[in-house]
Amino acid sequence: MPDAGLEFAEGSFGFNKDITLYNTDGTLADMTGYTTATLTIEDDEGVQKLSVALTIQAGSIVRWAVNTGDTNYNGNFLGQIKLAGAGKEDRTYIFPVRVTKRLD
């Protein structure tokens, strides 16, 4: 899971958000052999707000290129990052997501 969940502002876009993944014991995730990563964000009723491909970076980091429309909602949500790779068991990280409301 990301170290403290994920937080961003409603309507924000045009930047990269690097997310460091940790195992449940607090050690950095080993992403050796994983070739795809997907971020999904859902509300408390299971309605999907976002599903995007992430780029696997060096170490235990995945990168979300935040695009227009990716963050057009606000509130508290549940996030999931799923790693997959040929011959590898899928690995899933679940974490809280907080989207702050814009004041403008």
User: Is the distance from CB of 31 to CB of 92 less than 8 angstroms?
Assistant: no
pLDDT of residue 103: 74
Supply the pTM of this predicted model: 0.91
Domains of the chain: 6-100 (2.60.40.1220)
- Which residue matches tokens 């950095």? 28
User: Is the distance from CB of 2 to CB of 20 less than 8 angstroms?
Assistant: yes
pLDDT of residue 76: 95
pLDDT of residue 5: 85
Ramachandran angles phi, psi of 27, nearest 5°? -80, 155
pLDDT of residue 53: 98
Average pLDDT for runs of 10 along the chain of length 104: 77 95 92 96 95 96 96 95 95 94 76
